[in-house]
Amino acid sequence: MKHLLYIGFISLIFLSCRKDPNDIDIIIPDQTPPRSLAEQMPGEWSLDAVSYISEFSIDFDGFPLPISNSGTDKNARGSMSIDASNMDYNARYTVMLALPFLPIPSIPVSDNIQFAGNYNISGGNITVSNSGGSRTLEVISHGPYHLTFQTSSILNLGIPLPGITDIPIELTLHYVKDF
């Protein structure tokens, strides 16, 4: 008899504690995430990955030899610091450069970029300027916790190869916000 009363009591608890499926819990965060690029940019950021594309040609005994390379360095390292008017960013990455006339499939070429100065946002571009010049970053994607932009650079091989000194490269830099 005691067992029957105990089972009945437990059943009554479960039946009375059912949640109405029409009740929806809405969790409102303490702060509304920033929506505009200008609101999202200030803070400290870490480089998550660098993607690259490089297309150029080499003069090979009077014949142009087109070369194309692309890839992503997920081990890239860098940081970015942004306040209301200044931006300082750096990126260290490795490009796997495939040259068809070499006996190896590709050579790793490490490079880095860094730039600091006042910034201005215009449309989908961020222009960073200092006394030495300016650099434009095309914003590809942004959110409260990520910022992805493209820029161009020159990849210096650091080793002498016939017909090659500096290689133009398009970079996509993906930063994530530090907490």
Bridge partners (DSSP) of residue 136 are: 127
pLDDT of res. 162: 65
Q: How far apart are the first and last CA of the chain?
A: 59
Does the pLDDT value for residue 5 go beyond 60? no
pTM, two decimal places: 0.74
Q: Domains of the chain, with CATH numbers?
A: 40-177 (2.40.160)
- C-beta atoms surrounding 164 within 10 Å: 16
pLDDT of res. 92: 95
pLDDT of res. 2: 59
Q: pLDDT for 81-135, tens place per residue?
A: 999 999 999 999 999 988 777 777 888 888 999 999 999 999 889 999 999 999 9
Task: Identify which of 82, 34, 91, 114 has the alpha carbon closest to the alpha carbon of residue 178.
Answer: 82
pLDDT of res. 58: 78
What would the 3-class secondary structure string for 42-88 be? CEEEEEEEEEEEEEEEEEECCEEEEEEEEEEECCCEEEEEECCCEEE
Q: pLDDT for 25-73, tens place per residue?
A: 554 555 565 578 898 999 999 999 999 999 888 777 777 778 889 999 9
Rounded to the nearest integer, the mean pLDDT of the chain is 82
What single-letter amino acid sits at 179? Answer: F
Sole residue written with tokens 């997920």: 74
